[in-house]
Amino acid sequence: MRERRLRVRRLGRVDYETAYLVQKEIEAEARARTGPDTLLLVEHPHVLTLGRRTDDAAVVASAALLAERGVAVFESNRGGKATYHGLGQVVGYPVINLSPEREDVHKYVRDLEETIIRALADFGIEGFPIKGLTGVHTARGKIAAIGIHLARWVTTHGFALNVNTDLSYFNLIIACDGEHVTSMSDLLGRDIPLADVEDRLVARFAEVFGMTVEEVSGVRRRAEPVLNSTSDI
């Protein structure tokens, strides 16, 4: 398999809609093969996203409570059900063309899981997949969710890794069929700089997918931690 380039863009803290529009621009490039494969790394303000398999009972919080806690709600064309994105979480959006060498959506999802598992291992955390489920789990709960969209073998959406996440926001929804959730800071007993986690995700993504990181553009995070700040196909 030929080695491919990976363009990494660290957008910092951006709202969900803005990140989606950036993905759509890159998706058009990927389809036309006018740009390299891209990995977007972002942190979202508080938002609930509703995937294609979300049912009406998924959001258990009232509109008033969501407004009080500053949580937006977006319907999404990704796979999966309802999930939460917010401060202290690293969200990765790979926009890559799987054709022709990687035309296997299930392998793509497994490779995303493997990327996260290897990155977690760099911090001394043991992550693992669970047969029949999507995402990455630990002995104390699910730590990363995956939900993707695929059109003409070009991927959008991706994964969300709980780093220093305030896990109480997951109580606003029935996430991942009620699975318990955890975070890196919850497991390690300390906050971790998001920039450090992004670095390991980039390195492990390039490793798993056989890519060369050619350029890093966008907003570079500061080194200090941000506090509290499947596929579902």
Q: Which residues are catalytic?
A: 176
Alpha-carbon distances of 225 from 56, 67, 168, 169, 191, rounded to whole Å:
36, 27, 19, 19, 6
DSSP string, 164-216: S--GGGGGGB--GGG--B--HHHHHTS---HHHHHHHHHHHHHHHHTEEEEEE
Q: What are phi and psi of 67, to 5 degrees?
A: -65, -40
Q: Are 48 and 173 in contact (CB under 8 A)?
A: yes
Q: Using CA of residue 11, residue 13, residue 19, residue 22, what is the dihedral sign?
A: negative
Alpha-carbon distances of 149 from 12, 59, 143, rounded to whole Å:
22, 22, 21
Give the CA angle between residues 147, 127, 112 to the nearest 5°. 35
Burial zone of 179 (CB within 10 Å; 0-12 exposed, 13-18 middle, 19+ buried): middle
Q: Using CA of residue 120, residue 71, residue 158, residue 50, what is the dihedral sign?
A: positive
